[in-house]
Amino acid sequence: LAKTTQPISMDSYEGQEVNITCSHNNIATNDYITWYQQFPSQGPRFIIQGYKTKVTNEVASLFIPADRKSSTLSLPRVSLSDTAVYYCLVVIFSGGYNKLIFGAGTRLAVHP
Amino acid sequence: AAGVIQSPRHLIKEKRETATLKCYPIPRHDTVYWYQQGPGQDPQFLISFYEKMQSDKGSIPDRFSAQQFSDYHSELNMSSLELGDSALYFCASSFWLAGGKNTGELFFGEGSRLTVL
């Protein structure tokens, strides 16, 4: 099981770009990297997923270097509503279903 | 769009009582997951079901059991409740594209908050 390590907390200001880096040194060949966002008392919400290089969607970008031992979630121009916990997960595909093991996420606080 | 429905949203029980949580996945989703999240903690994987069969087991206590029914809804049964069982219980669902790659996207419900007094 690939263990992930990410900062416990980060602070930012409205309008800034936020980059959260996650390390996953023992990621397996078939594993994907996935990021989730969670607001207090709500279920986690999928943000983005990637295998290698760069993936971009309407809310974030995900950068994964060639060795795949780390990944960086980039949130452009954050707002107060981006204050949440962000989880980096390695998705293990096993027998036809996903297995998501949450580690310690990064608590992002966005200030005015 | 339809989301994952969990019931009840809030539940208060006494120690040693039993509780049942229900989860209705998004239509056509064939996989259901249960997670437990204690106060200030990260979600812990309990158990999952794929096509009505248990597919994986995490840190689920022996006092807990779960199943997925023919209509794909799932129930988490908790007996001999302890104070430490007080938590938010999330259900999530996903689907597997036959012959293709699945995504890592699990769709989570809003959770059921269990308080054990």
B87, B114 Cβ separation under 8 angstroms: yes
Nearest of A47, A92, A90, A84 to residue A71 by alpha carbon? A90
Of B96, B105, B113, the CB nearest to A96: B96
**Contacts with A51 from chain B: Cβ below 8 Å:** none
Contact criterion met (CB < 8 Å) for B55 and A95: yes
Q: Evaluate whether residue A3 is within a structural domain.
A: no
A75, A110 Cβ separation under 8 angstroms: no
3-state secondary structure of A81: helix
Domain assignment of residue A90, given as a range: 9-111
Nearest of B88, B75, B65, B79 to residue A102 by alpha carbon? B88
Q: Evaluate whether residue A1 is within a structural domain.
A: no
pLDDT at A76: 95
Q: Evaluate whether residue A61 is within a structural domain.
A: yes
Q: Indicate which CATH number applies to the domain containing B59.
A: 2.60.40.10
For B60-117, how does the pLDDT look when each residue is reduced to its tens digit (9 = 90+)?
999 999 999 999 999 999 999 999 999 999 999 988 655 445 566 889 999 999 999 9
Partner A contacted by B108 (CB < 8 A): yes
For B24-44, how does the pLDDT look when each residue is reduced to its tens digit (9 = 90+)?
999 988 889 999 999 999 999
Q: How far away is chain A from the Cα of B19, in angstroms, using its nearest Cα?
A: 20
The count of structural domains within chain A is 1
The count of structural domains within chain B is 1
Query: Which residues of A make CB contacts under 8 Å with B?
Result: 32, 34, 38, 41-46, 49, 87, 89, 91, 93-105
Q: Evaluate whether residue A4 is within a structural domain.
A: no
pLDDT lower than 50: segments of chain A? none
A25, A42 Cβ separation under 8 angstroms: no
- Report the distance separating Cα A43 and Cα B60, nearest Å: 19
Of A46, A87, A94, the CB nearest to B105: A46
pLDDT at A31: 85
| Residue-level length of chain B | 117
Residue B8: cis peptide before it, omega within 30 degrees of 0: yes
